[in-house]
Chains A and B, each alone.
Chain A
C-alpha cells in the first residue's frame, strides 16, 4: 500500500511535468496566451503544501494544569465533528479510539492531522500507515486552530 501511495505521487509528478512540457512545446505563439483561461486553480496547481505551515512542537505547549473551560469546548466540538468516527475508548471504529491518545501521538502530530489533514496523508508516513489500516481518508473538518487546541485539551483528560 505504501508503495502504491508513493507510485501515485510519482505519477502525479509526471503528470504535472508532462503538462508543463506540452505548454512549453506549443508556447511562444499568441495561441498559448489566449489558449487557456487565465485563472489558476490553486487547489490543483499546488496540491498539499507539504511542511509549509505544519505546526511544530514549540507551537503546542501544554500548561501544567488542564483548562476545564477548554476541555468543555473541546468535548462539544468532539461530539459534533469527531465522534462519528472516534470513540473515547481504545477500540477503532472508523478512526482510532482516543483513550490514551496522547501517550501514542505527539500533540503537534494530532494538531496537524486535524488542521492539515490532506498534507499529512500525502507526506507523513505514520498518517499513511493509519490510512492503510482504516481505508477511509480522515476528513478535514475545518476546525480553527483554537478549536483544535480545545480538542487537544479534551484529549488530555482521556
Chain B
C-alpha cells in the first residue's frame, strides 16, 4: 500500500515541482498556504444579495457559454450556442433547429473558445456577447436582455475560426481569421495535393458587421492573407483605433507534424490590419465578389422562431493588389495571445515557446511604416524590423506565456501555461512586480474589462486546464477549475477555487449594473407573432394538413388545453405548438410526450414552442409538463390517441371551457 502511494504521488509532485520553481525561487509549501485568512469574506455573497459582476465564460468543447456571478463563483446560467441542449429544447424544437444550420447541414456541436463583449468607445456596453465556433467556422451573438443566442453567422472560406470573435472599439466589426489555411476557390482549386501547401493554401481575415438594431450579422469584407495559421487577435483602440492585430504561427508553412515543423523559425508574426483602409477600399468598390456560401441564422423574439438566410458570395479584398492593408511585425516563437493595452499604445505578443514577452509600440509601428523600415516581404506583405517596432521585452516572465489582460493602473497580467502562474508586470517599465501560482496549467485569464479601454479591474480569474487534486475526485474526468484572485492590492491574492462546466477558454466579466435591469422577464402574449400561437384557450384547436397534424395548445398552471386528442394515425407527423399563457416572471412550462425522439420543450411565459412527434406505435400516449410549476404540477398531463393508418377515427379534442358548462 505504501509503495502504491509513493508511486501515484510521484507524477503529481513532478508536475507541480517542475512547473513552479523554474520560474520562481520559492513555491508555497502547499496549495492551502496560498489562501490568507479573510479570503472567504471577500467572496461571500449573502443570501438575497447579488454578485457584483457577470462572468461570461466560453464553453470550449462543450459549445456553450456559461454565466457565473463574481466574486461568489456561483453558476447562474448555461446558454446553449453551438451545441444542442435538451434542457431548453435548443436544437430540438422546430423553432431553434434553423439556428444550427450551415452549408454542411444541421451541425449540433462546435468548439467555442472566445467571448467578447459588444463595445462602445472600447468599453463593454452590456448589449451583447459574441462567441466563436472553432470547428465549423461560425460566430454567435448572445442577446444580454434574454441571455439567448440571437444570431449565428457562418464564416465562408475559413477553417478553424480561432482568432475570433474580437470586435472593433464600437463593435463596427467582429473579426474571424483562418487558423487553418486552405486551398480556396472552385472545386478544381480546392482538390489539390496537401503537399502543395505553399503554392495553393491561403488564409484570410473576415470582418463581420453586427446591426445594432436587429442583432443580425453580415459579412462586410474578407481580406486575403498568406497561408499561415492565424491564432488570436485584438482590436486597436485610442491612437491605434482603425487597426486590428492578429498573431500568426506556422510561418514555416508546414502541413505535417506541425509540433516540430512549425516551430523552426525564431520569429513568426503579429499581423497588423488597417481595417479603416480596408473599409475604404470596400466602399470604393475595389473588392471582388467571390464564392462564399454561408448561412445567417437569426432568432426573432416576436415570432419566437429562427430563420436562416443563405448568402452565396462575399466581398473579398486582395492584399496583393490593394496596398497598405497588411503589415507583419516579427514576434518570437509561435505567438498565441495578441493583446492590446487599455491605452491602445502597446501590443503584447505571447510567444508560447519564447522565454520573454515582446511588447510592440503602435507609434513606433506607424513611424516604421512611414519610413519603410522593412526587413523584407512575406507573400507580398512588408515585414517591419523587430527592433524598430519594439517597445521592449519582459525578461524571464515565466514559461509558456499565453495570454495577457490589463488593469486600470498600468499593469498587465500574463498567464504562464508551462510554469502554472500568473505574472503581473508594468506595461511601461516591463518589470515583473508579482507572481502567483495557479492550480494547474493556466490557459486563459480574465480581468473585468481587461481587454477594453477602461478595465474595471478588482479581480483576475485563472481558467486552468488541469484540475487534478482541487476537488473531490469524480473518476477519470474532472470539471475544469477556475481561480479568483484579488488584484486590489500590490500583491495578487487567491480568494476562491470554483469548478466550471466544460471547458473554459476566454471569458469576460462586466459589472452587473450594465445588464441586470435590462433583463427580459417575460414575453408579452399580445406581441406573440408565432404563426401557430394560441392567444387564449379559445384559440386552441387541432388541424390536419395531409399527414401533418398541428395541435394549437396552451399551458398555464396547471393544465394543457386541449389535453385529450384523438384521430391521430400512424404515419402522421404531429406538431405540438405549445403557447405558455403565463405572464409572470420565471414561470416556464415544460412539455414532453412519450416516445419523442428529440427532447422536451421549455416554454417561457408568452412564448410558443413546437415539438415534432412521429408516433411509432398505436395506442394512447401521455404527455406532461416537465418543469415543476405548482402544487398541481403532477396533474398537468394529457393523452393523445394514436390509431392505425387508414383508421376513420375523426380528429377530436376537448376544451375545458366547453366541459365546464357556462
Contacts and interface: CB of A to CB of B under 8 A. Distances in A.
Which size bracket describes the interface of A in this complex?
35 or more
Contact of A19 (B47, B70, B522, B631): B47
Nearest to A16: B48
Interface in A15-46: 15-16, 19, 22-23, 26, 29, 31-32, 34-41, 44-45
A143 B525 CA distance: 11
B537 A84 contact: yes
A135 B631 CA distance: 6
B537 A81 contact: no
Most chain A CB atoms below 10 A, which of B488, B535, B556, B559 = B556
Contact of A137 (B516, B554, B630, B660): B630
B41 A31 contact: yes
Secondary structure type dominating chain A contacts:
loop
Given A32-B41, A35-B42, A19 B48 contact: yes
Most chain B CB atoms below 10 A, which of A16, A26, A84, A137 = A84
B656 interface: yes
A34 B630 contact: no
Contact of B41 (A29, A39, A89): A29
A47 to B, nearest CB: 10
A88 B536 contact: no
A34 B488 CA distance: 11
Contacts of A141: 582-584
A139 B557 contact: yes
B583 A140 contact: yes
Interface in A77-127: 79-81, 83-85, 87-89, 91, 93-94, 97
A63 interface: no
Contact of B556 (A16, A31, A84): A84
A45 B660 contact: no
B554 A84 contact: yes
B105 interface: no
Given A31-B38, A84-B536, A39 B557 contact: no
Contacts of A52: none
B279 to A, nearest CB: 39
B5 interface: no
B538 interface: yes
Given A40-B50, A84-B554, A88-B662, A35 B41 contact: yes
A84 B42 CA distance: 48
Nearest to A30: B38
Interface string B560-603: 01000000000000000000011110010000000000000000
Most chain A CB atoms below 10 A, which of B41, B45, B516, B561 = B41
Given A31-B42, A79-B538, A139-B584, A44 B48 contact: yes
Given A91-B660, A94-B557, A136-B630, A80 B581 contact: yes
A84 B52 contact: no
A37 B656 CA distance: 48
Contact of A140 (B42, B584, B630, B631): B584
Nearest to A34: B42
B537 A39 contact: no
A68 interface: no
Contacts of B581: 80-81, 84
A64 B228 CA distance: 82
B71 interface: yes
Contacts of B488: 34
A39 B52 contact: yes
B556 A37 contact: no
B72 A37 contact: yes
Interface string B624-662: 000000111000000000000000000000001100111
A39 B558 contact: no
A93 B525 contact: no
B49 A37 contact: yes
B321 interface: no
B46 interface: yes
A144 to B, nearest CB: 11
Nearest to B561: A84
B512 interface: yes
Contacts of B526: 80
Given A81-B583, A91-B661, A39 B48 contact: no
Given A32-B41, A139-B587, A83 B48 contact: no
B52 A93 contact: no
Contacts of B554: 84
27 contacts: A19-B47, A26-B41, A29-B38, A34-B488, A35-B44, A36-B45, A37-B72, A39-B50, A39-B516, A41-B48, A41-B49, A41-B50, A44-B48, A80-B535, A84-B561, A84-B581, A87-B660, A89-B661, A91-B661, A93-B656, A93-B660, A94-B558, A135-B631, A137-B630, A139-B556, A139-B583, A140-B584
